[in-house]
Structure 1
């Protein structure tokens, strides 16, 4: 596939020397969702009710102690944060131990899969600013987006759109009819981007591969989106 360029960036296939930067960017791209997921969970009416109830309980049990109320409320908030962190951290660990352990074997040496890097010039030096990996679905004529990440400092410059367009072109070249992405409900910006590029939500579920109680407290949903070509 030909490389795609604009005035400041280039989308190109992954090469082995990219791995340190790619792993760092991948790690950031997963863990950055912990705080948004936490704040979204804590703003849910059910969690607001629990927070108030726990704080009042602390106030009463502490003999009208505001400190005790804050302590109980803080403990509840920490529990919710821990659950959010646990889901994303475990996902990151699984992927680093499997697909990301040998990117060349999983993606570069497998013509059915693809891995691209967005490279941007920063202060006269080329830096890895984004990544996109796709995996062919063996059970259907489709590609699944394994991961899409753009560096925080290089967002809103069209890199995410360029990467996804590259994946769509690759999908067409493979003779496949769909591009699929599984994304968490905390990734609101990414969801908006996928919608903008013609993806639609086809399913929503609470299966985060974590303990049921952890998933329930984190209130994170897995969202599947698809684009038909």
Structure 2
């Protein structure tokens, strides 16, 4: 029999969590690369392509896609995820939830959601206290079972308990299932920018913009890396 339990972080989960966190971010590099390469600006002739030629051009575009995700991964592993106990378990303002799958008496980490309290930064919500869920990931073989929905609902309830006005989520536009989930829960596009925290040329070649989704009922927002 298989059952799932959503609970707080345990120190024994650290290795599995880091592995899942790593997978959940870098799994989008190849889809991002193929999406970027299909953009008209990359397909057609250009000065850069004439200089770099076929394979070298593809390698450059791949590097840019990889760099954006990998830089984000490194930044989180060196900050919030570096000490989950101190940054989440010992903090009443932050939350870290883990999905544990029970299979034949054995427990395995199948999903996670990490969230930290942050202040509003956009022009329409200055100083608006928010819960920023910077990573939501479910292991590949446990998807389409409602685990992502359960994790998100848990975060929203935590947000309400903390008296915060909105939840912020940052995901990739290539995560179509996740985007469908958020839209189903009432999120709509409200804002777009190109700030990926990466070098301007890297962002330009990877064809990435950041799109803000807003839920008008419980005032929840999410940021999406959108390839256009």
- TM-score under structure 2 normalisation? 0.84
Q: Does 1:28 align with 2:16?
A: no
Cα 1:50–1:190 change in 2 (3 A) is: farther
Cα distance in 1 for partners of 2:214, 2:4 equals: 27
Q: Decide which structure has the larger Cα Rg and report it.
A: 1
2:89 counterpart (78, 98, 108)? 108
Cα distance in 1 for partners of 2:165, 2:211 equals: 20
The ranges of structure 1 where at least 4 consecutive aligned residues each deviate by more than 6 angstroms after the TM superposition are none
Structure-1 residue corresponding to 2:196 = 208
- TM-score under structure 1 normalisation? 0.84
* Equivalent residues of 2:128, 2:165 under 8 A apart: no
Structure-1 residue corresponding to 2:124 = none
Q: Which has the higher helix share?
A: 1
- Give CA-to-partner distance per residue, 1:37-64, whole Å, 9 cap, x none: 111111111111148x94xx59xxxxxx
Pairs within 5 Å for 1:61-210: 72-138=53-119, 139-210=127-198
SS at match of 1:207: coil
CA RMSD of aligned residues (A): 2.1
Q: Which has the higher strand share?
A: 2
1:48 counterpart (32, 43, 51)? 43
Cα distance in 1 for partners of 2:193, 2:177 equals: 19
Q: Give structure 1 stretches of 5+ with no counterpart.
A: 1-6, 59-70
Cα 1:220–1:122 change in 2 (3 A) is: farther
SS at match of 1:111: coil
Structure-1 residue corresponding to 2:3 = 8
Q: Give structure 2 stretches of 5+ with no counterpart.
A: 120-126, 219-228
Cα distance in 1 for partners of 2:58, 2:174 equals: 17
Q: CA deviation at 1:124?
A: 4.3
